[in-house]
């Protein structure tokens, strides 16, 4: 099995080629099935650039469920018994995804709330500002007790207090947000590296293998490399694959701040 590669192909199809019990961690940021129907304007009459990508369109809940059962089932197969999985979503999809994961036998360890520091407001005043996304962190089954959790490292990362399941992190904007040749965002839903840093730092060891079946522009690979972990990315869109490969190739330095990489063993 090749590691530190971006595989260009269909998610489920490529997952099937990966040997059973070979992966330490899965991070998955699947399509959310947003079901946006109208155009939304801000009070100043500018248009909100919503997610209308073709890859986020599903005909029904049944179709979406069936897709998720397929890729989640494969993820469970390729995980080591000591491995774990993170899946991110919003209320649009996370209750479908969570239900399927439970039915497949995954065991929820935490439902982590990404509390966005700068969410988009609800312009029309019809609901509360939607300020979160949810990350489900699961072991392979109820009896998988030896999953990796770097408690001491995360406690130190959090300033000496045990880290909770609420993470205050800003949106991916500014220099971190990858732009295309036209100056517009290259991907509708790029995640902040800080999110992946916490995921990988908390639930893998050095030299572990992280698999991301919806690689996009490669945030998971970038964070894995900076933390001294290995990655396998699967992505269907040619454009994203190219961006991800270039992005990761350009990474020279690891994240050494606070000595995570040097001192991990001592802290642990």
Chain contacts with DNA (rule: CB under 7 A): 29-44, 46, 48-51, 56, 90-92, 102, 107-109, 117-127, 129-130, 133, 142, 145-146, 151-152, 155, 161-162, 170-175, 177, 184-185, 188-190
The upper half-sphere exposure of residue 199, i.e. CA atoms within 13 Å in the direction of its Cβ, equals: 37
Say whether residue 202 binds a second copy (CB under 8 A).
yes
Other Cβ atoms closer than 10 A to 241: 21
Q: Which of 175, 245, 233 is nearest to 14 (CA)?
A: 233
Among DNA, a second copy, none, partner that 103 touches (CB below 5 to 8 angstroms by kind): a second copy
Tell whether residue 173 is a contact of a second copy (CB under 8 A): no
Q: How far apart are CA 106 and CA 143, in angstroms?
A: 10
Shortest Å, Cβ 34 to DNA:
5
Which residue in 130, 156, 228, 261 binds a second copy (CB under 8 A)? 130
List, as own/partner pairs, every contact residues 70-75 make where C-beta atoms lie below 8 angstroms and the sequence separation is at least 24, other chains included.
Answer: 70/12, 71/11, 71/12, 71/15, 71/28, 71/30, 71/213, 72/28, 72/97, 72/100, 72/101, 72/104, 72/106, 73/104, 74/12, 74/15, 74/16, 74/18, 74/213, 75/15, 75/26, 75/28, 75/211, 75/213
Could you tell me which of 153, 145, 135 has the C-alpha nearest to residue 201?
A: 153
Integer Cα distance of 33 and 60 in angstroms: 9
The one-character DSSP state at 196 is H
59 part of the interface to a second copy, by CB under 8 A: no
Binding flag, residue 82, a second copy (CB under 8 A): no
Nearer to a second copy, 80 or 247 (CB): 80
User: Taking the complex as a whole, how short is the minimal distance between the CB of residue 23 and DNA, in angstroms?
Assistant: 20
* Interacting partner of 30 out of a second copy, DNA, none (Cβ under 5 to 8 A depending on kind): DNA
Binding-site member from 20, 63, 91, 207 for a second copy (CB under 8 A): 91
Site membership for a second copy, residue 164 (CB under 8 A): yes
Residue 108 CB, shortest distance to DNA, in Å, is 4
What's the chain's Rg over C-alpha atoms? 18
Compare residues 147 and 260 and give the one whose CB is closer to a second copy.
147
Among 16, 63, 99, 179, binds a second copy (CB under 8 A): 99
Q: How far does Cα 203 stand from its chain's mean position?
A: 13
Whichever of 17 and 115 has its CB closer to a second copy, that residue is: 115
By the criterion CB under 8 A, which residues form the site for a second copy?
A: 35, 53-54, 57-58, 61, 90-92, 94-99, 101-103, 105, 108-113, 115, 119, 121-122, 125-132, 134, 136-137, 141-143, 149, 151-152, 154-155, 162-166, 202
């Amino acid at each position: 099995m090749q590691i530190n590669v971006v595989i260009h192909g269909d998610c489920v199809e490529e997952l099937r080629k990966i040997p059973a019990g070979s992966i330490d961690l899965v991070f998955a940021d699947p399509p959310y099935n947003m079901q946006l129907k109208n155009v939304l304007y801000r009070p100043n009459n500018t248009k909100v650039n919503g997610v209308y990508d073709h890859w986020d369109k599903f005909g029904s809940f049944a179709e979406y469920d069936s897709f998720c059962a397929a890729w989640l089932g494969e993820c469970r197969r390729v995980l080591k018994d000591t491995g774990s999985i993170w899946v991110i979503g919003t209320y649009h999809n996370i209750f479908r995804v969570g239900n399927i994961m439970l039915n497949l036998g995954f065991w929820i360890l935490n439902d982590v709330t990404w509390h966005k520091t700068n969410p988009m407001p609800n312009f029309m005043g019809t609901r509360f500002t939607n300020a979160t996304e949810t990350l489900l962190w699961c072991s392979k089954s109820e009896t998988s007790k030896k999953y990796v959790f770097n408690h001491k490292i995360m406690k130190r990362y959090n300033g000496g207090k045990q880290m909770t399941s609420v993470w205050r992190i800003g949106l991916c904007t500014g220099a971190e947000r990858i732009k295309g040749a036209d100056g517009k965002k290259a991907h509708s839903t790029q995640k902040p590296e800080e999110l992946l840093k916490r995921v990988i730092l908390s639930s893998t060891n050095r030299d572990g293998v992280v698999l991301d079946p919806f690689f996009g522009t490669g945030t998971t690979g970038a964070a894995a490399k900076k933390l001294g972990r290995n990655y396998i990315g699967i992505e269907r869109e040619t454009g994203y694959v190219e961006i991800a490969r270039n992005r990761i190739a350009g990474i020279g330095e690891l994240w050494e701040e606070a000595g995570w990489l040097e001192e991990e063993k001592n802290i642990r």
